Amino acid sequence: MNLLDQAAPPRPGEELDLVAVEAFLKDRIPGLEGTLIVSQFPSGHSNLTYLLAVGDRKMVLRRPPFGYKARSAHDMGREYRVLEALHPVFPYAPRPLAFGDDLSIMGEPFYVMERVKGIILRRDLPPGLTFSPDQAARLCENLLDVLVEFQTLDYVGVGLGDLGRPEGYVARQVAGTCKRYRAARTPDVPDCEAFMDWLTEKQPPDTPRPALIHNDLKFDNVVLDPDDPLKIIGILDWELTTIGDPLMDLGIALSYWVQPGDPPEMELARTVPTNLEGMLTREEMVRLYERKTSRQVGHFDFYYLFGLFRMLVVVQQMYYRYYQGQTKDQRFKDLHQFVSIMDKLAREVMSRSDL
């Protein structure tokens, strides 16, 4: 039984120039022999991810999506640099192999990295994989352990001291995310102005202990060992990594968390299997994080709601591309309904928050 993510033929309009890509690979990566075969991982919604096979060697290529793009969200050169710095000290980051900035190859910069072969959890567990309640709890703790290990890296020592500006980080994130939503809004989604006003008014002061933050740590960006599915062997999607308030990373991670007792609409929007029996709740994850880091998580409603809003904006940007005819990917057709669900949930959380 195969529990690994399976690649498929590239979606129409998202094919690669096989001749140009093969020439690039053989020029940059020694020892490649054979004809290039390309398939596409179908689950990603942001940057496009392809499986490259040349003989017995398998690699992964990442490139920006076609159509509308937030300028800072798809910087392939920046993501490649992050992996170059992190892989030697944080082996969960895949090893980068080659960066391409010749626009004649595919019209956008791209990079190639080693494939981390393992299990990736999606909305529901793949057939044949089960976790007992105790195992589900341990998997949650393992995820937090990796997050904490990452946040305690010496970002100056690994050469990433100029990756971001921690001063004013939260304020910039709120302002920038609001701007992106207004730019990508379509007539069939709520204006979210009350949501944006609340985030602007309730944001906490700058953290005295900035850290590296991944900015999208969730179970479907985590690779599990096929021989021991409780063991994390890889973290994917590093395009948003920066330096800032580490509690933003926690809030973003837990914004994907759907648990018993949440409004029923949240179950419809669930993308990872946090509803399994034994999975820690958001509150339990926060308390565990506090114990592991000696950080006090005040303002958690803010961090959680910012995570929801950021997810809402990313989804709306993908829907905007479909709405404008910039992609034919049918997975994007109904994403405006997700935006409405997120806005409704946010209003409920805001109404009972004591911030």
Specify the CATH number for the domain of residue 48.
3.30.200.20
**Helix (H) or strand (E) segment spanning residue 335:** helix 335-352
Q: Which of 62, 86, 114 is the last residue of a domain?
A: 114
By residue range, what is the domain housing residue 90? Answer: 18-114
137 lies in the same domain as 48: no
Q: Using one digit for the tens of pLDDT, what is the confidence trace for 206-239?
A: 999 999 999 999 999 999 999 999 999 999 999 9
205 lies in the same domain as 324: yes
User: Residue 173 domain-assigned?
Assistant: yes
Give one DSSP letter per residue of 270-319, joined into a string. Answer: --S-TTSTTPPPHHHHHHHHHHHH-----SHHHHHHHHHHHHHHHHHHHH
User: Residue 125 domain-assigned?
Assistant: no
44 lies in the same domain as 145: no
Q: Count of domains in the chain?
A: 2
User: Residue 164 domain-assigned?
Assistant: yes
222 lies in the same domain as 347: yes
The series of mean pLDDT values per 10 residues for the chain, 355 residues long, is 79 93 96 96 80 96 74 79 98 97 94 96 93 98 97 97 96 97 96 96 96 95 96 96 97 94 85 95 97 93 96 92 86 89 90 92
User: Residue 128 domain-assigned?
Assistant: no
165 lies in the same domain as 204: yes
25 lies in the same domain as 79: yes
User: Residue 121 domain-assigned?
Assistant: no
167 lies in the same domain as 228: yes
Side-chain half-sphere exposure of 43, counting CA atoms within 13 A: 16
Token pair 């072969």 is at which residue?
117
191 lies in the same domain as 297: yes
